[in-house]
Amino acid sequence: MTAHADAQSALHAHLTTTAALSRVAGRLSWDQEAVMPPKGAEGRAAEAAAMAAVLHARQTDPRLGEWIAAIDTAALDPAAARDVALTAKSFARASKVPARLATALADLTTRAQGIWAEARANDDFAAFAPVLAQVIALKREEASALAAPGQTPYDALLQDFEPGANAADIAALFDRLRAGLAPLAAEAAEAGPAPALTGAYPHAAQMALAREVAGAFGYDWAAGRLDLAVHPFSSGGRGDARITTRVDEGDPFNCLYSTIHEVGHAVYEQNISADVFGRPSGDAASMGVHESQSRFFENAIGRSRPFAEWLAPKVRSAFGDAAPASPEAFFRTANRIAPDFIRTEADEVHYNLHVMMRFDLERAMIAGDLAPGDLAEAWRARAAADFGAPAPNDRLGALQDVHWSVGLFGYFPTYSLGNLYAAELEVAMRRDLPNMDDLMAEGDLAPLVAWMTTHVHRHGSVLPAPALIEAAIGRAPDEGALLAHLARKVRALA
């Protein structure tokens, strides 16, 4: 074999094992949030730290640089060349972070997640604030190690979720979105919201409905499972893509739409091409692209008027007279536009305001302009400005999201990028599938999922996120499609 072939073979073997170990680490995290007993937290922190040390050592192995230098990328197919490019980038980035810091972050965030969950259950922000401060201190240290010359600490962290993005561009996008959202929110308020659901919605019936709807969206039950979690999430890929949801017996839409959202993530993972699975090019293109799938499933399909024709009778069958009386009533209830304290339950118009608030608060904490102990009060003030009133407690305020407890600073803006991409993808899908509404009304979502698999899912990260979306829609994306989608939704409810 040539030096090129030897290096390529060695690199592939190394990356395959590293990816397998990373999936094991992900399974530890899933277990912690879904089924681990509370007293397992300390032991799990040690396990997570040990795994982080192993992964960091593999990601910074000096042989990676030698193999990369020996490979002639011009002789490779696009996916293999992308593997080398992504590995070189990961190697350079991981090498900047001391092993001590990577291990400490894994240990701390594992313990912090449990502290957050207990504090949230008890509505006790003071119990969470000290460990939040510790997490932020370590994330700032990590950001300082990662930041390129002239790059802000927040932008350095943002690269883990949306490579190539920066806070200045996101802030400008959010300013444009806010300018378009304000009149839509006012227009919706003038029309008044649809009635909220009232009644009792049994746990077992909600979970049975969630499973049926997940199957309709193409979720492969032989390659996944549904469990409960404090904050719904998805985990894994291809043959083992798990989802979680939560149940409120006074609100079946919480479970229903949380499940649809996580199914969007999981179906993306299940449909990434087997040819690139386990390789760097087999990862999702970015979290913005990942969120585009969950938000598309949840909103473009799940909250559409045509899909209500199929879904409303099933909800009625599950819950009887406590469910909306007709598909039109279901559509209006599912799209009820009114300020809400909870991001995951917010309507499409107010959802992005939730993201903008978190984006501003987390930037301020990473920059040192907002002390972690002052977060709850800052949250209340911002919520009052954006939604008309502060949340009645911190469980519905600064404690509602799991992200900061596990160190995910820079994740929140990807939700709005996902909304933007989802709206653009819907326009392109409707161009190619002119009978899309008829298919949704029949509950026949396979052609829609197949379109997404062809244009997004199967490619993994062979293309960078902006190039992937541009190839799917035929041009560079912007916020116009999202604002047009929201305007149609508001006017459909008038």
Q: How far is CA 450 from CA 223, 267, 431, 453, in A?
A: 18, 11, 15, 5
Whole-angstrom distance, CA of residue 295 vs CA of residue 288: 10
With a cut of 70, say whether residue 353 has pLDDT above it. yes
pLDDT above 90: residue 205: yes
Alpha carbon 251 to its chain centroid, in Å, reads 22
Rounded to whole angstroms, how far apart are CA atoms 246 and 117?
A: 14
Task: Give 437-467 pLDDT, tens digit per residue.
Answer: 999 999 999 999 999 999 999 999 999 999 9
pLDDT tens for 85-137 read 999 999 999 999 999 999 999 999 999 999 999 999 999 999 999 999 999 99
Q: State the amino acid at position 78 in one-letter form.
A: P
pLDDT tens digits, residue range 235-294?
A: 999 999 999 999 999 999 999 999 999 999 999 999 999 999 999 999 999 999 999 999
Distance of alpha carbon 308 from alpha carbon 310, whole angstroms: 5
pLDDT in tens, 154-194: 999 999 999 999 999 999 999 999 999 999 999 999 888 88
Which letter, b or e, does each residue of 237-269 get, where b requires 16 or more Cβ atoms within 10 Å of its Cβ? bbebbbbbbebeeebbbbbbbbbbbbbbbbbbb
Beta pairing class for 240-245 and 234-237: antiparallel
Residue-wise pLDDT for 332-349, tens only, equals 999 999 999 999 889 999
Percent pLDDT > 70 in the chain is 100
Average pLDDT over residues 406-415: 98
- Phi, then psi, of 335 in degrees rounded to 5: -110, 20
Q: Which one, of 367, 408, 412, 407, lies nearest residue 154 by Cα?
A: 367
The residue from 33, 47, 162, 262 that is catalytic is 262
| pLDDT reported for residue 1 | 61
Give the C-alpha distances (Å, rounded to integers) separating 301 from 189, 291, 459. Answer: 24, 14, 22
Residue 116, token pair as written in the block:
């957050």
Based on the residue annotation, tell me whether 362 is a catalytic residue of this protein.
Answer: no
The pLDDT of residue 196 is above 90:
no
Measured from the Cβ of residue 386, the count of other Cβ atoms closer than 10 Å reads: 15
Q: What is the pLDDT of residues 21-71, one digit of tens each?
A: 999 999 999 999 999 999 999 999 999 999 999 999 999 999 999 999 999
Number of neighbours of residue 12 by Cβ within 10 angstroms: 15
Q: What is the pLDDT of residue 192?
A: 85
- Residue 406 in contact with residue 414, Cβ under 8 Å? no
DSSP 365-405: HHHTSS-GGGHHHHHHHHHHHHHSS--SSGGGTTTS-SGGG
pLDDT for 327 beyond 70: yes
Residue 407 main-chain phi, psi, to 5 deg: 85, 15
**Average pLDDT of the chain?**
96
Per-residue pLDDT at 234 = 97
The pLDDT tens digits for 360-407 are: 999 999 999 999 999 999 999 999 999 999 999 999 999 999 999 999
